[in-house]
A = this chain, B = another copy of it.
Amino acid sequence: MTQDEEKMVTPESVAEENERGLDIEEALSLVEEKRYAALRQMLRDAEPADIAELFDELPKQQYAVVEEMPANVVKRILQNVTPEARKTVNELLKYPEDSAGSIMTTEFVRLKQDMTVDEAFSLIRKVAFDKETIYTCYVTDRNSHLIGVVTVKDLLCADHSTKIADIMEDHVVSVNTLEDKEDVAATISKYDALALPVVDAENRLVGIVTVDDAIDVLQDEAEEDFAKMNAMLPTEKPYLRTSPWELYRSRIVWLMLLMISATFTGMIIGSFENALKTQAVLTLFIPMLMDTGGNSGSQASVTVIRALSLGEVDSSDVLRVIWKEVRVAILCGGSLAVLSFGKIFLIDKLLMHKPITVPIAIVVCITLLATVVAAKLLGCTLPLLVSKMGFDPAVMASPFITTIVDAVSLFVFFGLATIILGI
């Protein structure tokens, strides 16, 4: 730190800084705004001294930014920062992506159980400046094991000479470094906590996750689900800052996959081409059956995917979920079939003069009911199945379900038409 401060005041260093042209201020604001791609760009050719300077200016809770850097930049960062900063960076880096360890900060207040309230307050005053939060303090033994938690509120309401051991809460809710960050955020939200301690496999306290980071995790999670559920790969950046090329890459993969799979639906229609030639009026109902199937399926799948995300159901609930969805499907499918029967005769036959007979209407309405039931069943079971297999259920949302339900509904439609209409 001192070394760097000296560097700052010499005229040479000022000149040097100007020459190098790395705008530390701007880099810091990029970190603040989480514009990591721009920051990577900026740091790609940065001088080692610049990187060291940036890291000296960077608040410790922002160090996690190194995870956003390419490996060679990280290497240069580690070579050039102060030993103290290197230690923090390394601690953050060794935890897997999306783990509690990867989002925790090591800037928390650590107390000992034989301290008095007064001693605790002097310690807090001394370290308050660069701690992420001081309001929840953690009590550890000499081997860093987490043994209690005490809030500043507890400290304020206690006597000056009271020992921490007497007022600390020793039933501490903590999370493991390897726990999924989304579970950690959900725990913070559930307990209305300001922070949650993170411990290693030996129950040693290594960091805390604060409520503001938990909010970011919850929001990122929702945005990821929105993207995946709608056939996109998640992008990190705000919409207006994402280039058309980046948007293209996030969208084209699923579009191609789903386009190819929709080929099978086309093949089903193709195999009933002759039936369609004799009863061309059947074609009229294909879009309605496909859309209703898709909508019914995505209603069920999105509901179940979110319930999984929020921890309201898990894959062991599959039978309860199916039983609920079957009943909903029969209610929905039944109502739609009745409405559709009326619509077919009022609009399609009377108003549009289409050659519709009662058997045709019956085929359409039974298909509708069957499609809704199949869609809801697929919509609720596929996400549970995928989640059980350890994948993200969000990809089992509307677009994927729609493609399968399309095929099912056409099979039922033409199957019934063959039987009932004898074509």
Q: Is the CB of A291 within 8 A of B403?
A: yes
Q: Is the CB of B286 within 8 A of A269?
A: yes
Q: Is the CB of B304 within 8 A of A231?
A: no
CA distance A262 to B354 in the complex (A): 16
Q: Which of A40-48, A68-76, A141-149, A243-251 contacts B (4 or more CB under 8 A)?
A: A243-251
CB contact under 8 A between A296 and B215, given known A270-B354, A328-B247: no
A421 within 8 A of B: no
Q: Is the CB of A285 within 8 A of B266?
A: yes
Q: Is the CB of A335 within 8 A of B252?
A: yes
Partner among B273, B292, B304, B307 whose Cβ is within 8 Å of the Cβ of A259: B292
In chain A, positions 367-387 with a C-beta closer than 8 Å to chain B are: 372
A343 within 8 A of B: yes
A401 to B: closest C-beta gap in Å:
11
CA distance A230 to B90 in the complex (A): 43
A342 to B: closest C-beta gap in Å:
11
Contacts of A247 in B (CB 8 A): 303, 324, 328
CA distance A229 to B397 in the complex (A): 12
Complex interface bits, A328-364 against B, C-beta within 8 A gives 1, otherwise 0: 1001100110011001000110001010000000000
Contacts of A303 in B (CB 8 A): 227, 232, 239, 247
CA distance A347 to B263 in the complex (A): 9
Q: Is the CB of B259 within 8 A of A339?
A: yes
CB contact under 8 A between A335 and B273, given known A294-B294, A294-B402, A328-B244: no
CA distance A263 to B342 in the complex (A): 13
In chain A, positions 217-260 with a C-beta closer than 8 Å to chain B are: 218-219, 222-223, 225-227, 229-232, 238-240, 244-245, 247-248, 251-252, 254-256, 258-260
Q: Is the CB of A284 within 8 A of B299?
A: no
Q: Is the CB of B251 within 8 A of A299?
A: yes
A417 to B: closest C-beta gap in Å:
14
In chain A, positions 187-234 with a C-beta closer than 8 Å to chain B are: 189, 192, 194, 211-212, 214-216, 218-219, 222-223, 225-227, 229-232
Contacts of A412 in B (CB 8 A): none
Contacts of A157 in B (CB 8 A): 125, 128-129
A384 to B: closest C-beta gap in Å:
12
CB contact under 8 A between A258 and B292, given known A263-B347, A331-B252: yes
Contacts of A335 in B (CB 8 A): 252, 256
Q: Of all chain B residues, which has the CB nearest A277? A: B280
Q: 3 tightest A-B contacts by CB? A: A192-B212, A265-B287, A244-B327
